[in-house]
Amino acid sequence: MKFDVNILRYIEKDAWRVLVSVEMGMKNHELVPVELVNAISGLKHGGAHKCVRELLKHKLVHHENQKYDGYRLTPLGYDFLAIKAFVNRGAIVGVGRRIGVGKESDVFEVITEDGETLAMKLHRLGRTSFRAVKQKRDYVKATTTHMNWLYLSRLAALKEHAFMKARSISHWFPYDRALGEHGFPVPVAVDVNRHAVLMTMIDGVPLTQRYRLREPGRVYRQCIDQLSNLAARGLVHCDFNEFNIMVNEDEDITIIDFPQMVSTRHPNAEELFVRDLKCLHKFFLRRYDYRAEEDDEGREDPAFRDVAVGGVGRGEGADVKRSLDVSLRASGFSQDAVKELDAHVEATRKDKEEEEEEEEE
């Protein structure tokens, strides 16, 4: 799917107002009543109805009239709200081809006014079979606001952006220093809005697309080092696999996809750390016939308790003030938001494991 950003120019101001009104209404409704859309938009004399026709034409909203007459944002409508925000800020001027697709995200090329190509990641939590999570697991407290996938996708984008911008949220990580300078090969975060994150382009392809490596042992050791470095800064990736590790022609890696990360203080942190480690073992053995224990240059795999912040805390990141999980909490990303997103990630992870077990059987 290619975005026709030119449509942005032809959507009238009042139509954008109505689109935002639907978005606001979805904070408490899955389907926003027509009366509420009219009230929030403040348009009179049928103005909202005229605008809705335009939004329906471009498939930015969806209309239902079963239980009651109402509207909801479509994924494209939410995409356009984020894109318009980026365009209004001068962050981008155009959207190009889709360069990546995952179970819960899409990645597009975007162009800046200076002609630089960036990556725009659109989070889409619950898009695939994981939609069943909402019905199968009641992870939303009754006291919280109405939960929907747009909200969860926004939380995922904010969390990912916060991790990549951790340099700016703690005196331990001055604003002019990026995560890369702390030994983490990650994209540079540029901007975030709603469920969309702008970041620098990555030189390379997912490890899963590399069927041969000149030095599989070297790449494996890079992966293990970064897994350890994250734990030493208070984080477990939780999805550290061949799909989220990029490798370039020089066989240097870049780590992507951070919303599912948890603190090393999480009760299941050690289990999740070991799971990431086993994923690497399994992939390198299956794809490259590489066994770390047979590598003369290899090292023993790290033990969680020897490298992680929290618990025993003997690793190089043992000073809690230097841990990135603490920095994230200091960034304004609330504990309630962390819990809500982590609950979804945990439920999703369990469903993935169940699917994998069923496939093996």
Q: What is the pLDDT of residues 22-39, one digit of tens each?
A: 999 998 888 999 999 999
**Burial class, 219, CB count within 10 angstroms (exposed 0-12 / middle 13-18 / buried 19+):** buried
Per the domain annotation, does 314 fall within a domain?
Answer: yes
When divided into structural domains, the chain yields a total of 2
User: Mean pLDDT for the chain?
Assistant: 80
How confident is the model at residue 344, as a pLDDT? Answer: 62
How confident is the model at residue 137, as a pLDDT? Answer: 35
Give the rounded percent of residues in the chain with a pLDDT score beyond 90. Answer: 46
Per the domain annotation, does 178 fall within a domain?
Answer: no
CATH number at residue 10: 1.10.10.10
Per the domain annotation, does 310 fall within a domain?
Answer: yes
- How confident is the model over 32-89, as pLDDT tens digits? 999 999 999 998 877 888 899 999 999 999 999 888 899 999 989 999 999 999 999 9
Whether the per-residue pLDDT at 196 is higher than 60: the answer is yes
Q: How confident is the model at residue 341 (pLDDT cuts 50, 70, 90)?
A: low
Whether the per-residue pLDDT at 17 is higher than 90: the answer is yes
Mean pLDDT, residues 118-146 taken together: 57
Whether the per-residue pLDDT at 131 is higher than 60: the answer is no
Whether the per-residue pLDDT at 332 is higher than 70: the answer is no
CATH number at residue 310: 1.10.510.10
Containing domain of residue 25, as a range?
1-73
Per the domain annotation, does 357 fall within a domain?
Answer: no
Q: How confident is the model at residue 358 (pLDDT cuts 50, 70, 90)?
A: low
Whether the per-residue pLDDT at 148 is higher than 90: the answer is no
**Higher pLDDT among residues 111 and 260, named by residue:** 111
**Higher pLDDT among residues 137 and 276, named by residue:** 276
Per the domain annotation, does 187 fall within a domain?
Answer: no
CA-closest candidate to residue 290, choices 196, 209, 197, 219: 219
Residue 239 annotated as catalytic = yes
How confident is the model at residue 326, as a pLDDT? Answer: 62
CA-closest candidate to residue 32, choices 47, 52, 50: 52
Per the domain annotation, does 257 fall within a domain?
Answer: yes
**Higher pLDDT among residues 137 and 318, named by residue:** 318
Per the domain annotation, does 285 fall within a domain?
Answer: yes
Whether the per-residue pLDDT at 292 is higher than 50: the answer is yes
Per the domain annotation, does 97 fall within a domain?
Answer: no
Q: Which residues have CB under 8 Å from 221's CB, separation 6+?
A: 297, 298, 299
Annotated active-site residue in 239, 276, 325, 342: 239
- How confident is the model over 241-289, as pLDDT tens digits? 999 999 999 999 999 988 788 888 888 899 999 999 999 999 999 999 9
Strands 69-73 and 61-65: antiparallel
Q: What are phi and psi of 135, to 5 degrees?
A: -80, -35
Instruction: Say what the pTM is.
Output: 0.80
